[in-house]
Protein backbone atom coordinates (compact mmCIF):
# COMPACT_ATOMS: atom_id res chain seq x y z
CA UNK A 1 0.00 0.00 0.00
CA UNK A 2 1.40 3.39 -0.97
CA UNK A 3 1.61 6.24 1.53
CA UNK A 4 -1.04 8.09 -0.46
CA UNK A 5 -3.41 5.11 -0.39
CA UNK A 6 -2.88 4.63 3.34
CA UNK A 7 -3.53 8.28 4.11
CA UNK A 8 -6.72 8.38 2.05
CA UNK A 9 -8.04 5.12 3.52
CA UNK A 10 -7.30 6.25 7.08
CA UNK A 11 -9.07 9.54 6.40
CA UNK A 12 -12.09 7.76 4.91
CA UNK A 13 -12.34 5.35 7.85
CA UNK A 14 -12.04 8.18 10.37
CA UNK A 15 -14.74 10.22 8.62
CA UNK A 16 -17.52 7.69 9.15
CA UNK A 17 -18.75 8.55 5.65
CA UNK A 18 -19.37 6.15 2.77
CA UNK A 19 -16.16 5.92 0.75
CA UNK A 20 -16.22 6.51 -3.00
CA UNK A 21 -13.21 4.81 -4.56
CA UNK A 22 -11.88 5.99 -7.92
CA UNK A 23 -9.94 3.64 -10.21
CA UNK A 24 -8.01 5.05 -13.15
CA UNK A 25 -7.14 3.35 -16.40
CA UNK A 26 -4.21 3.23 -18.81
CA UNK A 27 -1.91 6.21 -19.38
CA UNK A 28 -3.15 7.89 -16.20
CA UNK A 29 -2.26 8.10 -12.49
CA UNK A 30 -4.55 8.27 -9.48
CA UNK A 31 -4.02 12.04 -9.56
CA UNK A 32 -6.15 12.15 -12.73
CA UNK A 33 -9.14 12.09 -10.32
CA UNK A 34 -7.95 15.09 -8.29
CA UNK A 35 -10.70 17.37 -9.58
CA UNK A 36 -13.38 14.74 -8.78
CA UNK A 37 -12.36 14.27 -5.14
CA UNK A 38 -13.54 17.62 -3.69
CA UNK A 39 -16.73 17.33 -5.75
CA UNK A 40 -17.67 14.06 -4.04
CA UNK A 41 -16.43 15.22 -0.64
CA UNK A 42 -18.72 18.24 -0.85
CA UNK A 43 -21.57 15.81 -1.57
CA UNK A 44 -20.96 14.04 1.74
CA UNK A 45 -18.76 11.12 0.73
CA UNK A 46 -15.20 10.11 1.58
CA UNK A 47 -13.32 10.08 -1.75
CA UNK A 48 -10.34 7.78 -2.28
CA UNK A 49 -8.30 7.66 -5.51
CA UNK A 50 -6.32 4.42 -5.41
CA UNK A 51 -3.00 3.72 -7.11
CA UNK A 52 -1.98 0.68 -9.12
CA UNK A 53 0.89 -1.45 -7.76
CA UNK A 54 4.21 0.20 -8.53
CA UNK A 55 2.55 3.45 -9.58
CA UNK A 56 4.65 6.60 -9.44
CA UNK A 57 3.65 9.49 -7.22
CA UNK A 58 3.91 12.13 -9.94
CA UNK A 59 3.57 12.41 -13.70
CA UNK A 60 7.23 13.44 -14.00
CA UNK A 61 8.34 10.36 -12.04
CA UNK A 62 6.09 8.06 -14.08
CA UNK A 63 7.51 9.39 -17.33
CA UNK A 64 11.08 9.02 -16.08
CA UNK A 65 10.63 5.47 -14.77
CA UNK A 66 8.14 3.46 -16.87
CA UNK A 67 9.80 0.24 -15.71
CA UNK A 68 8.11 0.61 -12.30
CA UNK A 69 4.69 -0.21 -13.78
CA UNK A 70 5.89 -2.52 -16.57
CA UNK A 71 4.43 -6.01 -16.73
CA UNK A 72 1.52 -5.35 -14.39
CA UNK A 73 -1.48 -7.47 -15.39
CA UNK A 74 -5.22 -7.11 -14.90
CA UNK A 75 -5.15 -9.80 -12.23
CA UNK A 76 -2.31 -8.18 -10.31
CA UNK A 77 -4.00 -4.79 -10.32
CA UNK A 78 -7.40 -6.25 -9.41
CA UNK A 79 -5.95 -8.20 -6.48
CA UNK A 80 -4.04 -5.14 -5.30
CA UNK A 81 -7.16 -2.97 -5.39
CA UNK A 82 -9.25 -5.68 -3.71
CA UNK A 83 -6.78 -5.75 -0.84
CA UNK A 84 -7.09 -1.99 -0.43
CA UNK A 85 -10.91 -2.09 -0.52
CA UNK A 86 -10.85 -4.67 2.24
CA UNK A 87 -9.13 -2.16 4.55
CA UNK A 88 -12.09 0.22 4.35
CA UNK A 89 -14.51 0.10 7.29
CA UNK A 90 -17.52 0.56 5.03
CA UNK A 91 -18.28 -1.02 1.66
CA UNK A 92 -17.53 1.68 -0.91
CA UNK A 93 -19.00 2.95 -4.10
CA UNK A 94 -16.46 2.32 -6.87
CA UNK A 95 -16.08 4.50 -9.98
CA UNK A 96 -13.62 3.49 -12.69
CA UNK A 97 -12.60 4.72 -16.12
CA UNK A 98 -11.30 2.74 -19.12
CA UNK A 99 -9.35 -0.28 -17.84
CA UNK A 100 -10.39 1.11 -14.47
CA UNK A 101 -13.97 0.56 -15.62
CA UNK A 102 -13.18 -3.08 -16.31
CA UNK A 103 -11.49 -3.35 -12.92
CA UNK A 104 -14.55 -1.77 -11.32
CA UNK A 105 -16.71 -4.56 -12.74
CA UNK A 106 -14.23 -7.22 -11.61
CA UNK A 107 -14.29 -5.81 -8.07
CA UNK A 108 -18.09 -5.61 -8.13
CA UNK A 109 -18.21 -9.24 -9.23
CA UNK A 110 -16.22 -10.09 -6.11
CA UNK A 111 -18.88 -8.39 -3.98
CA UNK A 112 -16.54 -5.60 -2.87
CA UNK A 113 -18.59 -2.55 -3.83
CA UNK A 114 -21.96 -1.24 -2.70
CA UNK A 115 -22.59 0.44 -6.07
CA UNK A 116 -20.41 0.82 -9.17
CA UNK A 117 -20.00 3.17 -12.13
CA UNK A 118 -17.91 1.98 -15.10
CA UNK A 119 -17.05 4.84 -17.47
CA UNK A 120 -15.93 3.89 -21.00
CA UNK A 121 -14.95 0.47 -19.63
CA UNK A 122 -12.41 -1.73 -21.39
CA UNK A 123 -13.93 -5.05 -22.47
CA UNK A 124 -13.76 -8.27 -20.46
CA UNK A 125 -14.35 -11.88 -21.49
CA UNK A 126 -17.81 -12.27 -23.02
CA UNK A 127 -17.90 -8.82 -24.64
CA UNK A 128 -17.58 -9.98 -28.23
CA UNK A 129 -17.21 -6.76 -30.22
CA UNK A 130 -13.71 -5.59 -31.15
CA UNK A 131 -14.13 -2.39 -33.19
CA UNK A 132 -11.49 -1.24 -35.64
CA UNK A 133 -11.09 2.05 -33.76
CA UNK A 134 -10.28 0.11 -30.58
CA UNK A 135 -7.61 -1.93 -32.34
CA UNK A 136 -6.13 1.21 -33.86
CA UNK A 137 -6.08 2.84 -30.41
CA UNK A 138 -4.26 -0.12 -28.90
CA UNK A 139 -1.83 -0.90 -31.72
CA UNK A 140 1.08 0.92 -30.00
CA UNK A 141 0.66 -1.46 -27.06
CA UNK A 142 -0.38 -4.78 -28.61
CA UNK A 143 1.42 -4.91 -31.98
CA UNK A 144 4.60 -6.41 -30.52
CA UNK A 145 4.14 -9.51 -28.27
CA UNK A 146 7.35 -8.55 -26.44
CA UNK A 147 5.55 -5.47 -25.13
CA UNK A 148 3.67 -7.63 -22.63
CA UNK A 149 6.39 -7.07 -20.03
CA UNK A 150 6.90 -3.43 -20.95
CA UNK A 151 5.27 -0.10 -20.24
CA UNK A 152 4.87 2.33 -23.13
CA UNK A 153 3.68 5.92 -23.55
CA UNK A 154 1.49 7.18 -26.34
CA UNK A 155 2.73 9.91 -28.62
CA UNK A 156 0.55 13.00 -28.67
CA UNK A 157 -0.87 11.95 -32.06
CA UNK A 158 -1.75 8.49 -30.73
CA UNK A 159 -3.29 10.01 -27.60
CA UNK A 160 -5.28 12.48 -29.69
CA UNK A 161 -6.87 9.62 -31.65
CA UNK A 162 -7.47 7.19 -28.80
CA UNK A 163 -8.24 9.51 -25.94
CA UNK A 164 -9.05 13.09 -26.85
CA UNK A 165 -10.50 13.14 -30.37
CA UNK A 166 -13.68 15.12 -29.62
CA UNK A 167 -12.11 18.15 -27.93
CA UNK A 168 -10.16 21.01 -29.43
CA UNK A 169 -6.51 20.63 -30.35
CA UNK A 170 -5.61 23.03 -27.56
CA UNK A 171 -7.55 21.09 -24.93
CA UNK A 172 -6.26 17.72 -26.14
CA UNK A 173 -2.69 18.96 -25.88
CA UNK A 174 -3.30 20.34 -22.39
CA UNK A 175 -4.76 17.01 -21.20
CA UNK A 176 -1.83 15.10 -22.70
CA UNK A 177 0.81 17.38 -21.20
CA UNK A 178 -0.77 17.33 -17.75
CA UNK A 179 -1.83 13.70 -17.36
CA UNK A 180 -0.44 11.22 -19.91
CA UNK A 181 2.11 8.69 -18.63
CA UNK A 182 3.47 5.31 -19.81
CA UNK A 183 1.16 2.37 -19.16
CA UNK A 184 1.72 -1.39 -18.89
CA UNK A 185 1.00 -3.17 -22.15
CA UNK A 186 -0.29 -6.39 -20.56
CA UNK A 187 -3.86 -5.17 -19.73
CA UNK A 188 -4.78 -4.11 -23.28
CA UNK A 189 -3.32 -7.35 -24.60
CA UNK A 190 -5.40 -9.28 -22.08
CA UNK A 191 -8.55 -7.35 -23.00
CA UNK A 192 -8.01 -7.87 -26.73
CA UNK A 193 -7.47 -11.63 -26.30
CA UNK A 194 -9.94 -12.28 -23.48
CA UNK A 195 -12.40 -14.24 -25.60
CA UNK A 196 -9.65 -16.54 -26.86
CA UNK A 197 -8.34 -17.41 -23.40
CA UNK A 198 -10.69 -19.28 -21.02
CA UNK A 199 -8.27 -18.62 -18.15
CA UNK A 200 -7.94 -14.89 -18.79
CA UNK A 201 -7.69 -12.50 -15.87
CA UNK A 202 -9.83 -10.04 -17.86
CA UNK A 203 -13.15 -11.48 -16.70
CA UNK A 204 -15.94 -10.35 -14.38
CA UNK A 205 -18.58 -12.30 -12.51
CA UNK A 206 -21.73 -10.71 -13.88
CA UNK A 207 -24.23 -12.98 -12.14
CA UNK A 208 -23.31 -12.87 -8.47
CA UNK A 209 -26.10 -11.31 -6.34
CA UNK A 210 -23.39 -9.50 -4.37
CA UNK A 211 -22.45 -7.40 -7.41
CA UNK A 212 -24.71 -4.47 -6.48
CA UNK A 213 -26.12 -1.73 -8.73
CA UNK A 214 -24.05 -0.84 -11.80
CA UNK A 215 -24.09 2.07 -14.23
CA UNK A 216 -22.11 1.90 -17.48
CA UNK A 217 -21.32 5.23 -19.17
CA UNK A 218 -20.21 5.56 -22.79
CA UNK A 219 -19.02 8.52 -24.85
CA UNK A 220 -20.54 8.58 -28.33
CA UNK A 221 -17.24 9.71 -29.91
CA UNK A 222 -14.93 7.40 -27.95
CA UNK A 223 -12.49 5.69 -30.31
CA UNK A 224 -10.83 3.50 -27.68
CA UNK A 225 -14.02 2.14 -26.11
CA UNK A 226 -16.93 2.88 -28.47
CA UNK A 227 -20.59 2.16 -27.79
CA UNK A 228 -20.35 -1.42 -29.07
CA UNK A 229 -18.05 -2.30 -26.15
CA UNK A 230 -19.98 -0.42 -23.48
CA UNK A 231 -23.27 -1.90 -24.67
CA UNK A 232 -21.65 -5.33 -24.87
CA UNK A 233 -20.70 -5.05 -21.21
CA UNK A 234 -24.25 -3.93 -20.40
CA UNK A 235 -25.73 -6.94 -22.18
CA UNK A 236 -23.56 -9.22 -20.05
CA UNK A 237 -24.23 -7.36 -16.83
CA UNK A 238 -28.00 -6.93 -17.21
CA UNK A 239 -28.40 -10.63 -16.42
CA UNK A 240 -27.67 -9.71 -12.81
CA UNK A 241 -30.56 -9.35 -10.38
CA UNK A 242 -29.26 -5.96 -9.24
CA UNK A 243 -29.98 -2.70 -11.04
CA UNK A 244 -27.98 -2.41 -14.27
CA UNK A 245 -28.11 0.69 -16.46
CA UNK A 246 -26.24 2.11 -19.44
CA UNK A 247 -26.15 5.60 -20.87
CA UNK A 248 -24.39 7.29 -23.77
CA UNK A 249 -23.14 10.87 -23.58
CA UNK A 250 -23.35 12.62 -26.94
CA UNK A 251 -20.19 14.15 -28.34
CA UNK A 252 -17.88 12.84 -25.63
CA UNK A 253 -14.64 10.94 -26.12
CA UNK A 254 -12.37 8.84 -23.89
CA UNK A 255 -11.15 11.94 -22.05
CA UNK A 256 -14.66 12.71 -20.75
CA UNK A 257 -13.50 12.43 -17.12
CA UNK A 258 -10.74 15.00 -17.69
CA UNK A 259 -11.94 17.58 -20.19
CA UNK A 260 -13.65 20.90 -19.49
CA UNK A 261 -17.05 19.14 -19.19
CA UNK A 262 -15.92 16.54 -16.63
CA UNK A 263 -18.48 17.79 -14.12
CA UNK A 264 -21.33 16.53 -16.33
CA UNK A 265 -19.93 13.00 -16.01
CA UNK A 266 -19.16 13.41 -12.32
CA UNK A 267 -22.71 14.56 -11.59
CA UNK A 268 -24.13 11.62 -13.54
CA UNK A 269 -22.03 9.20 -11.49
CA UNK A 270 -22.84 11.02 -8.26
CA UNK A 271 -26.59 10.87 -8.90
CA UNK A 272 -26.39 7.11 -9.47
CA UNK A 273 -24.32 6.54 -6.33
CA UNK A 274 -26.74 8.66 -4.27
CA UNK A 275 -29.62 6.39 -5.23
CA UNK A 276 -28.08 3.49 -3.36
CA UNK A 277 -25.63 4.74 -0.68
Find the mean pLDDT for residues 136-153.
91
Tell which wins on pLDDT, 4 or 115. Answer: 115
Structural domain span for residue 105: 3-274
Average pLDDT, the chain: 96
- Of all residues in the chain, the percent with pLDDT exceeding 70 is 100
Judged by average pLDDT, the poorest of 30-44, 86-100, 110-124, 135-149 is 135-149
pLDDT at 2 over 90: no
Confidence tier at 143 by pLDDT (50, 70, 90): confident
pLDDT at 45 over 90: yes
Each residue's pLDDT tens digit, 91-127: 999 999 999 999 999 999 999 999 999 999 999 999 9
Confidence tier at 163 by pLDDT (50, 70, 90): very high
Give the number of domains in the chain: 1
Say which CATH number the domain at 151 has.
3.40.50.1820
pLDDT at 214 over 90: yes
Q: What does pTM read for this prediction?
A: 0.97
pLDDT the model gives residue 140 = 87
pLDDT at 133 over 80: yes
Confidence tier at 151 by pLDDT (50, 70, 90): very high
pLDDT the model gives residue 224 = 96
Q: DSSP characters for the chain?
A: --HHHHHHHHHHHHHTSPEEEEE--TT--GGGGTTTHHHHHHTT-EEEEEPPTT--SSHHHHHH-GGGTTT--HHHHHHHHHHHHTTSSSPPEEEEETHHHHHHHHHHHTT--SEEEEESPPP-TT-----HHHHHHHHHHHSSGGGGG-EEPPPHHHHHHHT-SSS-HHHHHHHHHHH---EESHHHHHHHTGGG-TT-S-----S-GGG--EEEEEETT-SSS-HHHHHHHHHHHTTSSS-EEEEEETT--TTTTTSTTHHHHHHHHHHHHHTT-
pLDDT the model gives residue 3 = 74
- Of all residues in the chain, the percent with pLDDT exceeding 90 is 94
Amino acid sequence: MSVTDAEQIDRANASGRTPVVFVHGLWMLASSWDHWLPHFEAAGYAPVALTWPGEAATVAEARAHPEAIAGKTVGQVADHLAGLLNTLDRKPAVIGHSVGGMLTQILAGRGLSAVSVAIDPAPFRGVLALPVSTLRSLIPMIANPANRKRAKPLTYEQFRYAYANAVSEEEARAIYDRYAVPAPCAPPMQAAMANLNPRTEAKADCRTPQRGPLLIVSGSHDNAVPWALANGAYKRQKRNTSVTEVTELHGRDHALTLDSRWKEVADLALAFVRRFV
